[in-house]
Copies of this chain bind each other. A is one copy, B any other.
Amino acid sequence: MVLRQGDDVFASLEALMRDEQIASASIRGLGFVRTARFGYFDFARGDYDPREFADLEITGLTGTLAWKDAKPAIHAHATGAGRDFQAVGGHVLGLVVGRGSFEMTVNVYNQRLERRFEEDIGANVLQLE
């Protein structure tokens, strides 16, 4: 999948999952983003502390596509770097493609995978047989 300037990476992946009825997939990607929103989980608060970065070369995105309550559930982490080449990264909350493009490889699997909230862990966990 090749995204272009202004595209929202997660919205594009969700549309792909619905259109192609993707049961589950592994994804990876690289490209230039105008904004990257990363999060670091605060277990006390039960939510991600967000931080936004502008104009990053995403040097590596990796993730999984699954479903939760019949809706697409995307889990992705990424690393990126700006003009100073110092890398930053985290759990991806959102990415908007910048000038140029963003290339993704989606390895589709036939087995439908679901995420489920596991009380004891306090997180949505991918369920395998």
Chain A contact patch, size range: 35 or more
> Are B40 and A89 in contact, CB atoms less than 8 angstroms apart?
no
* Per-residue contact bits, chain A 85-120, to B (CB 8 Å; 1 contact, 0 not): 111111100000001110101010000000000000
- Residue A123 at the B interface, CB < 8 A? yes
Give the oligomeric copy count. Answer: 3
A99: which B residues are within 8 A, CB to CB? Answer: 43, 121-123
8 closest A-B pairs by CB:
A59-B89, A87-B87, A30-B77, A100-B123, A59-B77, A81-B89, A26-B105, A59-B79
State the A residues within 8 Å of B (CB).
1-2, 4-5, 26, 28-32, 38, 40-41, 43, 49, 51, 53, 57-64, 75-83, 85-91, 99-101, 103, 105, 107, 121-123, 125-128
